[in-house]
């Protein structure tokens, strides 16, 4: 099941006028801006033959996680008592001392101006310090680029190192943004699938089987979104050494590094294999650790040439991240860390409750995740059977049925790779978790 090109998944009902991956536009009735009635022979008529939206951009799938979350919110707004396990963000408020630093920053005219595109020097220093402390690698602040969330860091990393036709090995299940970011750079995502029987962790043998002369990079995400799986120090080292041996770049997404449980220690890929530093880009951010998803502060760290190229890109794309948010991030990284531990402890408690609850439902096989705030049950046993009057054959259909009949929102596995799985975030209150699991249990006990 590995080595196959990823085709992305469209959970979406394509909006009218949207082109498919080949640039063919839907034949639905033309909208008010249609050029359908322009006489032939005019320049406008000639352009009518071409897709209105560039095929490169029209081919991007809507974020499935955001779509499910939006659907759950709109049902809730319509009065339905929906419990949503769909969100990919902490439910806690940002720690008060971080908010206070931002309020103060907003009052300071120095923050009202453009600042260096790659970030405030104090923040870059704080990021270098955190990286030494937690990722086990010493970096110079000049290697850091502060980005508009980890998402921009991911996008820029692929833009920086991937050329047209380059293959990027993508362990699946994967975060839904990676394949889109790879394609936008002209690359070809190559799925390397690991199922629940291997705790969703790929092996060096699988990676090697998928390697070709066109393989340029490996995406490595530990702890993982969507599975919560964490690679051990030994597994990380083996993968890092394999990448080094074959000259394969590694984009290592460490955004969940502080959210680990059961005494597990996060191991950074450059801590495991320091010689890989010349071909590795680290991605990280404050969003998940500090409950700061809305503040939009992430970063990338890499070797000098890649950093220079990515800074040039960012200088034309977005320039500096909001100074107020950067000041807040400095407070988060350098201030008291007790709020982080309190949130981690709450996630840990919820993790245990949801795993226990789901595994008590026949048909759910839920490995115990050791990181992030997601569980990823294998529900293949529920497919092809009748539930509440219908017989889902994919997890897309199953997720719809669950929302309709149990008023519980979950994200189908198709958003992250193969069908047969569901992602549930446990970043919600203990009572909601208990009630959501109870409803699932009721639906599938029939």
Sheet with 4-5, side-by-side order of all strands: 4-5, 188-193, 167-172, 215-221, 249-253, 280-285, 298-301, 144-147
Q: Is 367 in the site for ligand PLP (CB under 6 A)?
A: no
Q: Which is nearer to ligand PLP, 191 or 253 (CB)?
A: 253
Residue 182 makes contact with ligand PLP by CB under 6 A? no
Cα dihedral 322, 301, 294, 93 in deg (nearest 10):
-120
Helix residue ranges per DSSP H, 30-148 = 43-48, 55-58, 64-77, 96-107, 121-130
Cα 129 to Cα 406: distance, rounded to the nearest angstrom: 47
Residues 403-428: b if buried by 16+ CB within 10 A, e if exposed:
beebbbbbbbbbbbbbbbbbbbbbbb
Q: Is 150 an interacting residue with respect to ligand PLP (CB under 6 A)?
A: yes
Burial environment of residue 7 by CB neighbours within 10 A (0 to 12, 13 to 18, 19 or more): exposed
Residue with tokens 């940002």: 94
Between residue 275 and residue 334, which ones bind ligand PLP under the rule CB under 6 A?
285, 287, 293, 298
Peptide bond into 15 cis (omega under 30): no
The distance of closest approach from Cβ of residue 293 to ligand PLP in the complex, given in angstroms and rounded to an integer, is: 5
Report residue 133 as tokens: 């402390």
Residue from the set 17, 25, 85, 88 that interacts with ligand PLP by CB under 6 A: 88
Region near ligand PLP per CB under 6 A, out of 147-155, 271-279, 415-423, 431-439: 147-155
Selected from 253, 378, 407, 414, the binder of ligand PLP by CB under 6 A is 253
- Smallest separation (angstroms) from ligand PLP to the CB of 396: 20
One symbol per residue from 97 to 126: x for binding ligand PLP (CB under 6 A), - otherwise; what is it? ------------------------------
Distance CA 261, CA 266 (A): 10
Binding residue (CB under 6 A) for ligand PLP from 17, 95, 119, 149: 149
CB of 255 to ligand PLP, least distance (A): 4
Q: Interacting stretch for ligand PLP, rule CB under 6 A, among 150-158, 265-273, 355-363, 400-408?
A: 150-158
Alpha-carbon distances of 229 from 232, 241, 266, 270, 373, rounded to whole Å: 10, 20, 11, 19, 10
The single residue listed with the structure tokens 């193969």 is 418
Choose between 387 and 421: whose C-beta lies nearer to ligand PLP. 421
CB 167 within 8 A of CB 147: no
CB of 149 to ligand PLP, least distance (A): 3
Strand stretches in 81-214, DSSP E = 83-84, 144-147, 167-172, 188-193
Choosing from 6, 225, 314, 366, the residue that interacts with ligand PLP (CB under 6 A) is: 225
Q: What 3-state DSSP class applies to 188?
A: strand
The minimum distance between CB 428 and ligand PLP, in angstroms, equals 16
**Torsion angle of the four alpha carbons 327, 291, 134, 348, in this order, in degrees rounded to the nearest 10:** 160
Q: How far is the CB of 259 from ligand PLP (least distance, A)?
A: 11
Q: How many residues belong to the site for ligand PLP (CB under 6 A)? A: 14
221 binds ligand PLP (CB under 6 A): yes
Q: Residue 423, interface with ligand PLP (CB under 6 A)? A: no
Task: Indicate the residue among 259 and 361 with the shorter CB distance to ligand PLP.
Answer: 259
Please choose, out of 25-33, 97-105, 149-157, 192-200, the segment that lies near ligand PLP by the rule CB under 6 A: 149-157
Q: Which residues bind ligand PLP (CB under 6 A)?
A: 88, 149-151, 154, 175, 221, 225, 253, 255, 285, 287, 293, 298
């Amino acid at each position: 099941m590995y080595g196959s090109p990823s085709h992305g998944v469209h959970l979406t009902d394509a909006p009218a006028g949207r082109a498919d991956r080949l640039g063919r536009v839907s034949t639905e009735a033309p909208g008010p801006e249609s050029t359908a009635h322009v006489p032939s022979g005019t320049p406008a008529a000639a352009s009518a033959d071409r897709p209105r939206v560039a095929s490169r951009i029209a081919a991007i799938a809507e974020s499935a996680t955001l779509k499910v979350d939006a659907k759950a919110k709109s049902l809730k707004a319509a009065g339905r008592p929906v419990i949503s396990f769909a969100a990919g963000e902490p439910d806690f408020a940002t720690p008060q001392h971080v908010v206070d630093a931002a309020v103060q920053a907003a009052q300071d005219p120095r923050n009202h101006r453009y600042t260096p595109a790659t970030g405030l020097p104090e923040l870059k220093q704080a990021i270098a310090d955190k990286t030494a402390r937690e990722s086990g690698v010493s970096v110079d602040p000049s290697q850091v680029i502060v980005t508009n969330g980890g998402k921009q860091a991911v996008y820029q990393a692929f833009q920086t190192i991937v050329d047209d036709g380059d293959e990027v090995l993508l362990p699946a299940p994967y975060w839904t943004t990676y394949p889109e970011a790879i394609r936008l750079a002209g690359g070809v995502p190559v799925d390397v699938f690991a199922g629940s029987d291997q705790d969703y962790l790929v092996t060096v043998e699988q990676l090697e089987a998928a390697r070709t002369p066109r393989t340029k990079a490996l995406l490595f995400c530990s702890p993982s979104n969507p599975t919560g799986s964490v690679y051990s120090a030994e597994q990380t080292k083996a993968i890092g050494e394999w990448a080094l041996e074959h000259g394969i770049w590694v984009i290592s997404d460490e955004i969940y590094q502080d959210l680990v449980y059961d005494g597990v220690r996060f191991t950074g890929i450059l801590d495991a294999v320091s010689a890989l530093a010349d071909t590795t880009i680290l991605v990280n951010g404050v969003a998940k650790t500090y409950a700061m998803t809305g503040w939009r502060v992430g970063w990338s760290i890499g070797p000098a040439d890649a950093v220079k190229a990515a800074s040039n890109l960012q200088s034309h794309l977005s320039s500096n991240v909001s100074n107020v948010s950067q000041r807040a991030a400095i407070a988060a990284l350098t201030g008291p860390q007790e709020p982080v531990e309190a949130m981690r402890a709450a996630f840990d408690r919820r993790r245990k409750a949801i795993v226990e609850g789901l595994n008590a439902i026949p048909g759910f096989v839920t490995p115990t995740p050791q990181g992030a705030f997601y569980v990823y049950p294998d529900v293949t046993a529920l497919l092809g059977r009748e539930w509440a009057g219908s017989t889902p054959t994919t997890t897309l259909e199953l997720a719809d049925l669950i929302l309709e009949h149990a008023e519980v929102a979950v994200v189908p596995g198709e958003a992250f790779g193969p069908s047969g799985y569901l992602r549930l975030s446990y970043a919600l209150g203990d009572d909601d978790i208990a009630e959501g699991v109870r409803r699932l249990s009721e639906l599938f006990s029939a």
